[in-house]
Structure 1
Amino acid sequence: MRRDTCSSPTLPTKSWSPGTRKGASRSPRRRPLCEGRSGRRPRPPVEKGSPVPREHTVKLIAEAVDRLITVDVSSRGAVQVLYDAAREKLGNRPLTLLAAERLRDVAAPERPVVIATGLPIRGWFSPALAESDGPIGAATLARALVLAFRSLPVLICEEEQVPLLTACVRAAGLIPSTFEQIRSAKESPDALPDRLIPAVVVRGFPADEGKLERATEELLKIQPAALISVERLGANARGIYHYARGEKVRTEAMAKVDPLFAAARSRGILTVCIGDGGNELGMGLIREEVRRHVPYGKTCRCPCGAGLAPEFVPDVLVCATVSNWGAAGVEACLAALGNNANLLHSPDMEMNVIRACTDAGALDGLTGLVGAYVDTLPAKICADIVEILQAILLNASIAAQP
C-alpha cells in the first residue's frame, strides 16, 4: 500500500549556527528531501524503504551536476572548452564526481584538509578587497567535509581577507578556531569525542616570497589529507598572476599558494583545483587549451607577454561557470556517494553566506560593486542553482526505487 510519506534523504529547514536562539536545545525540524521549499509535497509519493542509489545512479547524478554547473549563463564562452579539455585529460568522467571520490578516499576524522581561496580583486587599491566568488564555495565545501568525514578544514587566504573568510565560514554553520584551541579541547578531561564540534581554522598565507618556505612547511607538517583551491589565481610560467582580461595582478598583494600546492603534490598529497576562467590555479592541466581558446591565454596585456595560462598541474581540476558552483557540485556528489543529502548546503544557507560575504566587504568580481552578486549573477540565481542540485539528488532517489 502506498503511503503519503517520503523516506528519501532529509535536509534541515534552515541552517543551524551556535547561539541562534538562547537556550535552544532542539535541532531544527528536518523536512524530507521530497518536500519543496513551499512545504508542499509533490506527487507521486515515495514508498518507504527506498534503496541507496547504485553506482550507475550516482554517475547519472554527477553527469547532471556537471551539466548544471557548466551552463554558460555568463556568456563568456570559455567554460565548455575548459570543461571538455579537463574531462578528456581525467579519463572522461564527471569532474565533480572524480573530485568527490578522491576526497572520500583520503579524508579521515580530525585530519586536516587545506582549502585555499581569496583574490585581491582590486589589489592596487587594497589587498583586503576580495571577490565574492571563492570564499563562499570554500566555506560551504568545508562544511560538507566536516559533516561527511569530520575533517578539520584549514582555510587560507591573504592576511587582509581573513575577517571576510571568517564571516563566510560562520554563515556556513562552522566555528572559526585555532590549532591551539582544538588541541586543548581534545586533551581536556571533560571532552566528549562523540559530540560534533564543526571547527575550522582560518589563517593568512604570506605574500612575501621570503616567508613562503616556512609557511609551506608549517602547513605540510600537519599532514593534510588534501589541498583544495576555489577560485585562486595561478601563476604563469614567469610567476605572474593575471586577471581574466589579461592585466597583471599586483603580485605583492597575492598570497602565493602555488609553491604550497606543488610541494604537496610532490609528496603524494591530493590536490583538487576549482576554477572558471582559465587563469586559476590548476588550469595548468589544460594549459595548451587555455592558450588556444581563452582570450589572453597565450599573450597577455602585461609586460611579461607570456599569457595568463597557469603552470601548476593538479590531480583533479573542476571547471564551472562560477567557481562557487563547482564547489557546490562537489558537495552534491559527496551527498550522492554518502547517501546523505545534508552534505549539500541549502539554498537559504547559500543566501546567508553570500550576504555575510558581501557584508564583510566582498566585491562582485566583474563589476567591482559591493552587492549580493557573484560574477554579475544575483544571489537568488546562485541559490536557485543549489536548489536544482537538491532536485537532482531527489529525483535520482525517486528514480532508483523499484
Structure 2
Amino acid sequence: MELSAIDTTSESGLREECGLFGMVAANGGIDITLSHLIHLGLVGLQHRGQESAGIVTSMGGPNDTFVTRKAMGLVNGAFSDDDIVSLKGNLGIGHVRYSTQGLSNASNIQPFVVESLHGLIAVAHNGELVNAMHLKQKLLRHGVGLSTSSDSELITQLLTHTPDCGEPNGANWVGRIKNMMQETVASYSLLIMHKDRIWAVRDSYGNRPLCIGKLLPADAVTVMRSPSGNRLALPDESEAWIVASESCTFHAMGAEYVRDVLPGEIVEVTKNGVISRCIVPRPEAHPPAFCIFEYVYFARPDSRFEGQMVASVRRRCGRQLALEWPADVDLVSTVPESATPAAMEYAATVSKNNIFLWFCQVHVRVASPPIKYPCYMGINIPTKEELVANIIPLNEMAKLFGADSVHYLSLEGLKKAVTEGLKEGQETGHCTACLSGDYPVKKLDW
C-alpha cells in the first residue's frame, strides 16, 4: 500500500490517558498551600493528558463547600496565580484529561462535582467503562439526567445512589462504591472526595494505575537518613497523604512512595492516615489485568508499578530485543523518548568497540510487539483496520520506513521483561489486549 493511503494527520492515533492526583493534609497541616502541591502534582502527570485540567479543594468541614477551578489546555496555562490562591483547603483532588469517551470540551473537564443525599462529592476518573452504553441507558430510564458526554459522569451518578443495604447510620460510602463496582467491572481508577476524606478506588482487574504516597516534613527529608543513605521515615511524620496515578509526581515535592492501591481495593484517606476498607474480588476467575503498555510507553520512566521501576522494565525490553533481533550496527538511536532506556540496553548488549557517526544501513527495532487491536479500557487506539501492523505485512515495513530491516519484540519477550522484576509469589497479571486481542473483559459495549 502506498504511504499516502495512511492518514498521518488524524488525531485518532495512540494517546496517553488521564492522570489523577489527590492530597489530604495530616493533623499537623503542611507548610505550603495545598493547592500549590496539587498543581505541582498535576504538572508531574502532564504526560497523561494535555487537553484539560481541573482542581477541587475543600477545608473539610461538615458544611464546607468545594472550590473548583477548571480550564482547557496544559496545567501551567490552565490555572492563574489567583486560581491557585483561591483554591483553599485541607484536601483536594486534581485531574488531567485526554478524551476516550466524550468530546474534548469544557463540559467534560474533571473532577465532576455533584450533590448527593449526604452532601457534595467530587469524582476524578482514569479509564474507560466497558459497559458505558448500557449504563447510560439504565440511568436515563431511571430518570437520571446527564449533562456531559463523558463516561466518567456515569460513575459520578452511580455513586449518588443509596446502596441496597440502606444507610441507617449515615453515608455508607463503602456500600455505594461497592454498588458502583458491581454495575461496571472496568476500567477505572478513581478519586472520590466527600467532606473531610478522599476515597481511592481501583477496579478489580487493576487495569489502571493508582498509588499512595506521603509528604514528609522538610527536616525528615534532609536529616533523618540511615548510614546507608536510606530515609528513616516514621509513620507519624507525614504532613500529608497523597494518591496519584504515578509515583513520578512525588519526587518534586519531597514525598515518598508507600505502595500501590491493589486491584479491587477501596482505600479511605483522612487527616489521620490511610485505611484499606475492603477488596472487591473480580467477577470471574481471571488474574489481574494491569495495562502492560504503561511499562512500554505511557508512564514516565521514574514511576514505580508493582514494586519495580518503569525504566528497569524498559531496559530489560531492550536487552531481550537484542537477544531476539541482534543487528551488526555502529550506532543506536532512539525515538520516541520513552524508548531511550530500551535503546541504551540494546546498544550495550550488541556493543562494539568502534562507534562511528556515519552509517550506510538503517535497521529499525521496536521494543514492543506491534499493536494490532483497539483498546476499550482507556487508551485511544484507532480501529483494527487503521493500525499499520494490520495494513502492511511485516516484510514490507522496511520499505515503508526506508530501512534495511524492521523487527518487533515478541509478546513473550515483553512479558518476560515485565515479570523478571516482580517478587516471587506476587499476584500479577497484565492486559495485552492491544497486542494479542485477548481482552480480560469479554462483554463489551462496542
- Relative contact order, CA 8 A, sep 6+: which one is greater? 1
Give the TM-score of the pair, scaled to structure 1: 0.29
Q: Which has the higher helix share?
A: 1
TM-score, normalised with respect to structure 2: 0.27
